[in-house]
Structure 1
Amino acid sequence: MATAASPSRVPAQQAHPEQQYLDLMRRIWTHGDERVDRTGVGTRSVFGAQLRFDLADGAMPLLTTKRVYWKTATREFLWFLTGRTNIRELCAQGVEIWTDWPLDRYRRETGDPISRADFSARIVADGDFAEAWGDLGPVYGKQWTDWPVYEPAGDGLFARAAQGVNQVAEVVESLRKNPGSRRHIVEGWNVAELGQMALPPCHKTYQFHVADGKLSGLLYQRSCDVALGLPFNLWGGALFIRMLAQQCDLEPGELVWMGGDTHLYLNHADLVEAQLARTPEGSPKLAILSRPESIFDYRIEDFEVRDYAPQPAISAPVAV
C-alpha cells in the first residue's frame, strides 16, 4: 500500500546577525524605562542585554543598516593600546571621538566659544595647548597598559612604581601559556582614579575564553549608547579578539556583548526610526594583512574590510 510522501522540511531562513542589534534598539525605544540621565538629555533604557556574534571566516559585527566608520573605530582602539591619553594623536588623524569632552571643559573654564574644528586644529598645531587642554586623564588605554602599582617607600609610606601592570601584555602571555585559565581579563574600572577621567570607562571589562582552539571574548559595558556608541564597541570588541587570536595562534570564536544600562537618547528619535526602517544585508569581513611582532605594533594599514556596502550614514548629536 502506497503512502503519501512526507512534505520536505525547509529550514527557516537564518536571521541576519545584525537583526539582534535592531531588535534591541526596537525593544529599548518601545518598552524602555524613560529616565533622567547625567547629560540632562534623557534616555529610554533597559538593564541587562546580550548580543552574540560568530567571528568565523573573517566575519565582523559591522552594521550595514548605516555606515560605521570602522577605520575611525580602529584608530581609536590602536590608540588605546599605546596607553596614551591626550587627544592630539587622534585629532591629527581626523578622529574626533573624544574631542567634545576637553572642548567642553575648555569652553567652561575660559569662556571662549571656540568651534570644535578650531579647537581640534589648535590641539594638533600647538603642543603646549594640547598638553594643557587635550588630556583626558587615565582613561582606557592607561588602565589597560599601565594600571598603577604602589611600592613600599619606607616609614609606612608607598610610592607609585615607574611602570604599572600591562594587562594586555599579561593576557597575551596567559593565553599562550595557560589557555584554560579563567583569568584572561582586561579591566578599565579603576575606582581610585575614576574622578581623574574625562569619562569613566563604559566598555569596562573584557574577558577571554579558549575552547577547541578558538578564542572568544566577552565585553561587559556598564553604560551603552546604543545608537552611536554600540556600533563602535562591537567593532572594537571583535577587533580585540581577532588581534589576540592572531598573536596567540588561535582561531576567532565568538564575541559576546553584555550591557548594563543599555539606552537610547531621547534626541535620537530620527536616527532610531530611520535605522529601524532599514533591512540588514551583506556579510562584511575583516582581513588582517600582516602579523606584527606584538599586539602593540599593529597599524591601520594592517586591516582591510571586504564586502562592506552599507546604507547611508545617519547622524545624531553626542550627549556629553
Structure 2
Amino acid sequence: MPRHPEYQYLDLLENILENGDYRMDRTGVGTKSIFGAMMRFDVSDGTVPILTTKRVYWKTAVKEMLWFLTGQTNIQSLLRENVKIWTDWPLDKYRKATGEDISQQKFEERILADDSFAEKWGDLGPVYGKQWRKWKGADGKEYDQIATVIETLKTNPASRRMLFHGWNVAEIDEMALPPCHLLYQFHSSTKKYTDPVDGREKSKVSAMLFQRSVDIGLGLKFNLCGISALLMMIAQQADMIPGEIIWSGGDVHLYSNHEDMARELLKREPRPLPRMKLLRKPDSIDGYQIEDFEVTGYDPHPAIAAPVAV
C-alpha cells in the first residue's frame, strides 16, 4: 500500500525537530532550521494536499490566493472576506508609528469603516499580487505574469519559461514582507489524458513552487492549499488537467513557540486527503470566487492554536 503523502510533511517536521540548526531570527522568537527540502503530490484525480493532522482553514487560504490574483495590496478587501492573516504587519507598523496600543479588533474595525485610514495604514506595499499582475518594468509598462503563463500554456505549452515570481529587487524594501513563496513554474505533458470531468483528451499541467523561507508550522499548510487552488484555476483556463504539485523550500524552519504543536502533530496519524473541484469555469482567471471551490472528504484532526511571528 502506498505511503500516505502527508508523511512527507511529518518526516520534514521530525527532521527539523531532531536536526534543525537553532538560530535567532528577525522576529526575535527563534527557530530550528534546515536548508533545502522537497515534496510531491499527485493531484490529477482531484486529491489535494490540504493536510489532515491539524485542521487547515482552506477557505481562508483560497481567499488569500484569490486576493493575490486581483493584484490588490490593501488588507481592507481581505478583511471584508473575514481574512485576518495579513493584519499583523500593518498593525505592528501602526502601533510603532503612533504609540497607540490599539487592539487588533479595533484596528481592523477602523480599516473596514474608514477608507482614508485603510489607504494610509492598511496597505502592505507592492507585495505578491502587485508583482504577479502589475510588475512595473523599466519601460514604465505593467506586466501581467499570470496572464502570460496562461497564454503560453495555450500557445506554446512546451516552453520552459512558464513561470512567475514576486522577487522584485527594486521594490523589496517597500514591502511589508518580502515574498516567501516567491517562484511558481509550470510544466505541461506531451502525453494526453482523459479529463474525468468532460471526457476529452487533454495535457496535464503541473506546478512547482519554490519558497525561500518556510514557516513549516503554520505557513506551509496554507501555501500547499493556495497552490492547489491556483493550479486548478490555471489548468481550467488553459483547458488542461491538473497534474502534480512539486513543493521545494530553501530555509525551512520551525519557530520555537511551535515545537509543542509539532510534537503533537507527530503523534497523529494522517487521514485521507480531501478532494477539491471547481464548480464552474469563469471567462478568465479574474472571475473566480470562493463559491466556485468545493472541497469534499475533509476530516482532519482538531486545530491547534499557534502564534504568528511578525
Do 2:51 and 2:273's aligned partners in 1 also have CA atoms closer than 8 Å?
no
Deviation at 1:274, TM superposition (A): 1.2
The correspondence of residues 80-119 of structure 1 with structure 2, limited to 5 A, is 80-119=68-107
Residue 122 (structure 1) aligns with: 110
Residue 291 (structure 1) aligns with: 281
Q: Deviations over 1:28-87 (max 9, x none)?
A: 011111111111111000000001000021110001111100000010000000001000
Count of aligned residue pairs for this structure pair = 298
Give the residue type in structure 2 aligned to 1:264. Answer: L
Structure 2: gaps of 5 or more residues? 192-202
SS of residue matched to 2:45: helix
Counterparts of 1:26 and 1:270, CA distance in 2: 12
Residue 123 (structure 2) aligns with: 135
Give the residue type in structure 1 aligned to 2:178. Answer: P
The correspondence of residues 259-270 of structure 1 with structure 2, limited to 5 A, is 259-270=249-260
Normalised to the residue count of structure 1, the TM-score between the two structures is: 0.92
**Paired residue for 2:210, among 214, 220, 232?**
220
Give the residue type in structure 2 aligned to 1:257. Answer: W
Counterparts of 1:175 and 1:277, CA distance in 2: 42
Residue 52 (structure 1) aligns with: 40
Residue 145 (structure 1) aligns with: 133
Residue 186 (structure 2) aligns with: 208
Give the residue type in structure 1 aligned to 2:2. Answer: Q
**Paired residue for 1:271, among 254, 261, 270?**
261
Counterparts of 1:283 and 1:111, CA distance in 2: 46
Q: Deviations over 1:103-125 (max 9, x none)?
A: 00000000111111111111011
Residue 9 (structure 1) aligns with: none
Give the residue type in structure 1 aligned to 2:99. Answer: G
Q: Percent identity?
A: 57
Deviation at 1:150, TM superposition (A): 3.0
Counterparts of 1:216 and 1:290, CA distance in 2: 21
Counterparts of 1:250 and 1:101, CA distance in 2: 38
Counterparts of 2:266 and 2:7, CA distance in 1: 10
SS of residue matched to 1:264: strand
SS of residue matched to 2:41: strand
Deviation at 1:222, TM superposition (A): 0.2
**Paired residue for 1:165, among 117, 134, 143?**
143
Counterparts of 1:270 and 1:121, CA distance in 2: 33
Counterparts of 1:241 and 1:82, CA distance in 2: 16
SS of residue matched to 1:286: strand
Do 2:55 and 2:302's aligned partners in 1 also have CA atoms closer than 8 Å?
yes
Residue 300 (structure 1) aligns with: 290
Q: Name the larger-Rg structure.
A: 1
Q: Deviations over 1:194-248 (max 9, x none)?
A: 0000000000000000012110010000000001000001111122111111111
Q: In the alignment, is residue 74 of structure 1 matched against residue 59 of structure 2? A: no
The correspondence of residues 225-244 of structure 1 with structure 2, limited to 5 A, is 225-244=215-234
Residue 198 (structure 2) aligns with: none
